[in-house]
């Protein structure tokens, strides 16, 4: 594991939708600088847990600790200030904007100059704009997107669109990066490339990464630790080797969806 101190801890997290219990008393510790994967069948509660961490959902019970701060709920607008950024299962990019413009949006909450400063191109706005462009150029290089930087995002192949979404999240300079199925719908080649980019981000920035992914081979190769959910409960938690050999995981999770359930 890359580090031992916690980036974020969850305690007794419970969440329900109507009469359906999506999460049941989840405890989870995510260490600084690690790649922490969450796996389980469709409907197991993986995305619900990510949504609680990012503030999209408010847990019914439990609390979250970030550093020395304990909260019941993280508001979405607090994400950037707390160093949290994320991607989504379904693409959430602006098709009419170029790849570069989409990535620049990741800097929105980090800008210090105001609207009038940008309108009249103050010295602070000018310096900030140069710094943003340089940072975006670095991200374009890291994720091999320079050749399509000025292309409308809507015209890019699906795999590149997913990469643009990852780049936008990275532009926020997060200390905690939440990746909700970043390889969903990709070919085997695209998955391998994306896994390489995730590893490069981790190695270059020591970013703490929480990954949801169905490709168990990729999960086991990338992760420092893996938590397994089943019907909203955490049934296993450990190193890839420990999880791979856990009988509860073998019994509950072989990539088979729970009948009649969809992922939340």
Domain ranges in the chain?
35-55+78-252
Average pLDDT of the chain, as a whole number? 87
Q: In whole angstroms, what is the distance from residue 73 CA to residue 54 CA?
A: 9
Is pLDDT above 50 for 2?
no
Name the band, by pLDDT with cuts 50, 70 and 90, for residue 183.
very high
Is pLDDT above 90 for 11?
yes
Q: What percent of the chain has pLDDT over 90?
A: 66
**How many alpha carbons fall within 13 Å on the CB side of residue 227?**
23
pLDDT of residue 110: 58
Q: What is the mean pLDDT of residues 81-94?
A: 88
Is pLDDT above 70 for 75?
yes
Q: Tell me: the pLDDT tens digits for 217-252?
A: 999 999 999 999 999 999 999 999 999 888 888 887
Q: In whole angstroms, what is the distance from residue 115 CA to residue 119 CA?
A: 6
Between 245 and 28, where is the model more confident?
A: 28
The highest-level CATH class for domain 35-55+78-252 is alpha beta
Nearest to 59 by CA among 47, 70, 72, 50: 72
CB 175 within 8 A of CB 169: no
CB 171 within 8 A of CB 101: no
Concatenated DSSP letters of 97-154: SBHHHHHHGGGGGG--S-HHHHHTT-HHHHHHHHHHHHHHHHHHHHTT-GGGTTSBGG
pLDDT of residue 85: 94
pLDDT of residue 123: 67
Between 89 and 120, where is the model more confident?
A: 89
Can you give the pTM of this predicted structure? 0.86
Name the band, by pLDDT with cuts 50, 70 and 90, for residue 255.
very low
């Amino acid at each position: 594991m890359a580090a031992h101190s916690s980036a974020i801890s969850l305690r007794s997290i419970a969440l329900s939708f109507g009469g359906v219990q999506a999460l049941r008393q989840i405890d989870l510790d995510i260490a600084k600088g690690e790649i922490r994967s969450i796996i389980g069948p469709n409907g197991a509660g993986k995305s619900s847990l990510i949504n609680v961490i990012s503030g999209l959902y408010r847990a019914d019970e439990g609390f979250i600790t970030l550093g020395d701060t304990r909260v019941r709920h993280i508001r979405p607008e607090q994400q950037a200030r707390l160093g949290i950024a994320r991607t989504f299962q379904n693409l959430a990019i602006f098709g009419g904007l170029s790849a570069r413009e989409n990535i620049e949006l990741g800097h929105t909450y980090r800008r210090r100059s105001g609207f009038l400063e940008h309108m009249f191109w103050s010295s602070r706005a000018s310096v900030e704009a140069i710094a943003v462009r340089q940072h975006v150029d670095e991200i374009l290089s890291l994720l091999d997107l320079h050749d399509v930087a000025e292309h409308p995002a809507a015209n890019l192949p699906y795999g590149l669109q997913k990469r643009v979404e990852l780049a936008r999240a990275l532009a926020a300079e997060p200390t905690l990066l939440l990746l909700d199925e970043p390889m969903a719908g990709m070919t085997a080649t695209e998955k391998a490339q994306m896994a390489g980019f995730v590893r490069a981000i981790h190695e270059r920035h020591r970013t703490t990464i929480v990954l949801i992914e169905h490709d168990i081979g990729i999960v086991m190769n990338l992760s420092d630790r893996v938590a397994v959910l089943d019907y909203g409960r955490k049934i296993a938690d450990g190193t890839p080797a420990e999880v791979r050999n856990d009988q509860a995981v073998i019994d509950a999770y072989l990539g088979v969806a729970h009948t009649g359930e969809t992922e939340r």
